[in-house]
Structure 1
Amino acid sequence: MTAVPAASSSSPTLADVTVVFVTYNSAAVILRAVASVPAACAVVIVDNASPRGTAWQKELTRPATVLDMGRNAGFGTACNAGARAAQTRFVMFLNPDATLEEEALPRLLAACATYGEPLILMPAMADESGRLMRKEGTIFEKVPRSARLKEAEIAGDYCTRFVHGGAFLVSRETFEDLGGFDEQIFLYHEDDDLSLRALARKVAITVVPGARVMHAQGGSSTPGMGQTFRINRFKQQSENYVRAKYGRSGSRFLRACKLAGGCVLALCMLNLHRFMVRAGKLRGLFDPVAAPHRK
């Protein structure tokens, strides 16, 4: 669906934006990410008690506010803390392993002036090879890769139904009205939940292809088999929570059978990584589900 322009009372500038990063052992990538932010923007970095510390602060080449959460509070909770610390009209959430191309923020702001608020704006995200990273539906309406828009099919800005938590621009007012990220979600699917609330309140989610971000997937942490298991356990815990929150839990038995079958198949193929993915999700499937937070 194509975004429909609307009049705007004021045109935002770069000085109206605070870029918020959440770090956790992100020393290898955060300096490059911060360096990609235009000088006129404020920067807030929220650290989730990185075990390896934050000695990288001494190497920052521009002013930035660094907040220490004192514990690993989770992605959404840290983002909310960064948004509260911001003093500007807009907040741009950006992963520490992502970098803004030179015209990314000016083009997002131009789109905001064109379409008016409330809305959430996303840049086009590409990996190191230039391949676009696109997800066009929430956890409840997954769009297969074969059905997603191809780059050659995109002629301009367009509306979508999913906010990628790795890079998006929103006014602080809109973000606060939506309730921010749900802090019951420790990690993963917090953007699905935000998307569902935005859709319910008719807040347009608009992609601006002319604004680009390079995202090095997995660059903010060191992968390993144990970490793969934990990540996928967290993913499943978050999925359980979001499903419960929206009354879409479905059959846990059927999902367990599917994951168990995936474990067996992965072992037969001697694919340890795939086995740890399925095993982590299978373990997470039976973890307790927190009482949903509704706002």
Structure 2
Amino acid sequence: MADIERKNTTPLISLITVNYNQAVVTCDLLESTRQLTYPNFEIIVVDNGSVEDPTERIKAGNYPHVRIIVSPENLGFSGGNNLGIQQAKGDYFFLLNNDTIVTPDLLEQLIKPFFQESTIGVCCPKIRYYDEPDVIQYAGYYPLNKYTGRTWAIGLMEPDQGQYDRAEPTHFAHGAAMLVSREVLDRVGSLDDSFFLYYEELDWSMRIRKAGYQIYYQPEALIYHRESMSVGKQNPMKVYYHTRNRLWFMRRNVETLPLLVFYTYYFGLALPKALLQYTLRWQPDYLKAVSDAVIWNLKHKVTETHSEGKPSPVAKPFDAMLTN
């Protein structure tokens, strides 16, 4: 991979986006890609089992560089992107949410750090909100709090006044926009399908950093994001996957003692608080979503390998409940 980079300053970038019942939104993204000035890229649209096949609508737009892959079933964010990766030809893979709008020099700015530092594995742009274009959504991530299972995006909801305009390593990539090298995929593997939706990029970031690569924030690259268009601002599906995958992520990535503290905090405070709120508002679908999420974790044991065959944490104390 290093040889490719030295010989070619414009390696092929495969831009991969996943569509799920949002053909109009996806076409808005594709329309914005017409302004990209990088000379060597392809676009792969993966349709994730939408009710209506978007192929004809996308083809009617006559978008350059676009290939369409139609999955008969919804593979989730992880599975949809992985399907696109399998079909991509690029030296780099740019996983981009379909509810984003790109800026002209986005790809040039994202690829630049890879030529400057060989340990960079993933590069993410600055992200602002589409509806509030001067407000930041992502300018890197703070470290994970191993005792609460929480982290926050740097600059979240702050007006962009240039306060986060320094390019630097960060702790996690943002799932809405991640440029990753083929070398990283070959060594670390792709997104883990078990997450389906939410936390998959945090898990991937942990694996990538453990393999010795940096996650990098590049403020000279910019996109605009229409947040949460696929599943809405709040609904039972979102509650289910946030609850399920927060537990799953912690079980896979945190050592025994901090994990025990997390269990105490989560089951003693965070989860009862959420259940109380859903009860007082009488949201039975939300209560069921939380219950199903916990039961899923009880039934699934963290093994020695990921689905791609890459190293994974060994079973944690929570898993012992399966054998009692």
1:261 corresponds to 2:261? no
Runs (5+) with no aligned partner, structure 1: 1-7
Quote how far apart the aligned CAs of 1:114 are: 2.1
Q: TM-score, normalised by structure 1?
A: 0.82
Task: Indicate the residue corresponding to 2:62 in structure 1.
Answer: 61
Q: How does 1:122-141 map to 2 (within 5 A)?
A: 122-128=124-130, 129-130=132-133, 131-134=135-138, 135-138=141-144, 140=146
Matching residue of 1:9: 6
Aligned pairs for 1:1-295 (under 5 A) are 9-13=6-10, 16-37=12-33, 38=36, 40-54=40-54, 55-62=56-63, 63-128=65-130, 129-130=132-133, 131-134=135-138, 135-138=141-144, 140=146, 142-143=150-151, 151=160, 152-221=162-231, 223=232, 228-247=235-254, 250=260, 255-257=266-268, 258-265=270-277, 268=280, 270=281, 280-287=289-296, 288-289=299-300, 291-292=302-303, 293-294=305-306, 295=310
Name the % identity: 18
Contact 1:43 1:64 (8 Å CA) reproduced = yes
Tell me if structure 2 keeps the 8 A contact 1:240–1:289: no
Structure 2 spans left out of the alignment, 5+ residues: 311-324
User: Superposition RMSD on alpha carbons, in Å?
Assistant: 3.0
The C-alpha deviation readout for 1:178-212, integer Å capped at 9, x for no partner, is 11111222111110110111111121111110100
- Aligned AA (1:284): A
Matched-pair contact (CA < 8 Å) for 2:119–2:212? no
Q: Which has the higher contact order (CA 8 A, sep 6+)?
A: 1
Cα deviation for residue 213 of structure 1 reads 0.6
The verdict on how the C-alpha distance between 1:145 and 1:224 changes in structure 2, with shifts beyond 3 A counting, is closer
Provide the C-alpha distance between the structure 1 equivalents of 2:187 and 2:145, rounded to a whole number of angstroms: 22
What amino acid maps onto 2:49 in structure 1? A
Cα contact 2:172–2:215 (8 A) shared by 1: yes
Q: Is the 8 A contact 2:206 2:253 kept in 1?
A: no
Distance 1:265 1:175, change over 3 A: same
Could you tell me whether the CA contact under 8 Å between 2:137 and 2:157 is conserved in 1?
no
Deviation, structure 1 residue 247: 5.0
State the distance in 2 between where 1:149 and 1:127 align.
9
Asked if the contact 1:24/1:49 (under 8 Å) is kept, the reply is yes
Number of equivalent positions: 281
* Corresponding residue of 2:315: none
TM-score (ref. length: structure 2): 0.76
Change (3 A) 1:235 1:170: same
